[in-house]
Structure 1
Amino acid sequence: MAIGCSVDWAATGSMISGFGAWVGAGAVFYAACKAANTFDEFRKQKAHERRMAAAESVLTLAYKVRRAFVAVRAMGALGHELNAAIEEIQNTEWYGGLNEFEKTLAQQRQITLGRAVRYQNDWDQIFEQMPIARALFGEDAESALQTLWRQLLQIRISADIYAQRRENGGLDYDQATHDIWDHGEADELNRVGREVAGAVQALEGIMLPILHGN
């Protein structure tokens, strides 16, 4: 005896269509979640790359500035530096009224200031890096850059003090000579050298772990 089976194809089609809609919705939801996760990972990667690039830029600047301070504070002077200094100030009204001893001091002051000018681009970059350093690495990074900038100001101030020295010398003069010239790490009056070294070390402590992926 044959057994008959009646299939409601219209209902079946509706059910399959409904199932397909759910599958389609699920696929859309999965794709949306995947896209969101991918975008989030992309954003994190870009943020990491920005931090890496900024850390490299700030630390590279710190090393450049450290070398600039070494050049500015080098003992003695080359002949062309002395000639350039004399040419810069010899026609000023105040220079003509100095005795020979005072002229020698004024020349050394100008040599120091002239050296500093040669590295003006490095000094300018300190200010340019301060906002990004604070935004990405915090107040300590900005403070270290400010310390480097203050040492430049200190050298300029000390160069003026040195030029105003009279033959009896004095404590301010002694400190000024150790500011504008590097007398070595063991020098107790080498405050500029210590501040520069400390600032660079602080920036290394912040930037190197980022650059090394720690």
Structure 2
Amino acid sequence: MKPLNNLGVVAAQSVFKHDGVRANEVARQGIGGFLAVAGVIWATKQGRDAVADWRTQKQDERAIGAAERVLTAAYKARTSLDGIRANFMTSAELTRAMDKLKTDYPDVVGFSDARQRRLAHSQAIFNRINAYKADWDELFAVMPIANAYFGAEIEAQLEQLARQRQIVSVSADSYGEDDGSDPEFTKQIRADIWRGLTYEGVKDPVATRVTEAVICIEQRLLPVLRSDYVPT
């Protein structure tokens, strides 16, 4: 066999070189394509994570806002009941109550002095309840929010607070007509209306139930608002 002449050698070398360059180019394109796909996957994941983080942040912000509103409403309800049930009534407060009674029920002037005094105290309680109406409207407004964010138990505790106001209202109405003929009944309604009185071995039953409801709400909501909260 005859050896390749110089022209043949050069041609062969050229073919080998060309094939090598093309192989390298294909390899580079393959690597570049893989990196591009990897970049798209990475960017997609990062975008998905960013959206998830943003959604979680927004959910946390809404939960914090709901906790603030619910807890504030509970505190205001507690303060409201303290004000409504305050034992001391000024003469001016009783005079305003009697003036309203005379306007709404003119026949009251013909009642005995003792009955007029009871009715005046009863009306004064209702005046106090009306003075805190905005606080109670807010309590009712946050009940579905409490249920949506924190469950039926927290809504139930808000309802418990509202129930205490109703108890005071019913007892105040009864107090105006109570002639003392049933001492046990008189004791019960007085314990409902005024702070600090004991009924059936329980000191201030209304305040006790209010405190229990607020503590339950705090144990659920304060950890949402304060990382350093430790239940007592």
**What TM-score comes out, normalization by structure 1 length?**
0.90
Unaligned runs of 5+ in 1: none
1:24 is aligned to 2:23: no
1:205 equivalent in alignment to 2:216: no
| Contact map agreement 1:175 1:189 (CA 8 A) in 2 | no
How many Å separate the matches in 2 of 1:133 and 1:36?
30
Residue of structure 2 aligned with 1:104, choices 106, 112, 117: 117
Q: Does 1:188 align with 2:202?
A: yes
1:107 is displaced (CA, Å) by: 0.3
Is this contact kept in 1: 2:175–2:189, CA < 8 A? yes
Give the aligned length: 214
Largest Rg, 1 or 2: 2
- Matching residue of 1:146: 159
Measured in 1, the distance between the counterparts of 2:176 and 2:71 equals 34
Partner Cα separation in structure 2 for residue 19 and residue 80 of structure 1: 90
Consecutive unaligned residues of structure 2, counting only runs of 5 or more, are 1-5
Give the residue type in structure 2 aligned to 1:59. Answer: L
2:95 paired residue number:
83
Moved more, 66-75 or 13-22: 13-22
Q: Residue 176 of structure 1 aligns to a residue in which SS?
A: helix
Does residue 69 of structure 2 align to residue 57 of structure 1? yes
Does structure 2 retain, via aligned residues, the 8 Å contact 1:86–1:107? yes
Q: Which moved more, 1:133-142 or 1:3-12?
A: 3-12
Equivalent position of 1:116 in the other structure = 129
Superposition RMSD on alpha carbons, in Å? 2.3
Structure 2 residue 21 is matched with structure 1 residue 7: no
**C-alpha deviation, 1:209, in angstroms:** 1.9
Higher relative contact order, structure no. (Cα contacts within 8 Å, ≥ 6 residues apart): 1
> Does the CA-based 8 Å contact 1:72-1:112 persist in structure 2?
yes
Task: For 1:138, give the aligned amino acid.
Answer: G
Asked whether the 8 Å contact 2:190–2:197 carries over to 1, the reply is: no
2:138 matched residue in structure 1:
125
> Residue type of the partner of 2:218?
E
Q: Is the 8 A contact 1:113 1:159 kept in 2?
A: yes
Q: What's the offset of the Cα at 1:93?
A: 3.6
Shift of 1:170: 2.4
Distance of 1:22 and 1:169 partners within structure 2: 91
CA contact (8 A) 2:192 2:205 kept: yes
Following TM superposition, by how much is the alpha carbon of 1:168 offset from its aligned partner in structure 2, in angstroms? 3.1
In the alignment, what sits opposite 2:3? none
Match of 1:69 in 2: 81
Q: TM-score, normalised by structure 2?
A: 0.83
Cα distance, 1:102–1:185 mapped onto 2, change above 3 Å: closer
Q: Which amino acid aligns with 1:191?
A: P
Q: Cα distance 1:124–1:85, how it changes in 2: closer, same or farther (>3 A)?
A: same
The answer on whether the counterparts of 1:159 and 1:176 sit within 8 Å (CA) in structure 2 is yes
Find the aligned partners of 1:156 and 1:93 in 2 and give their Cα distance: 22
CA distance, structure 1, for counterparts of residue 42 and residue 121 of structure 2: 73
1:85 is aligned with what amino acid?
A: A
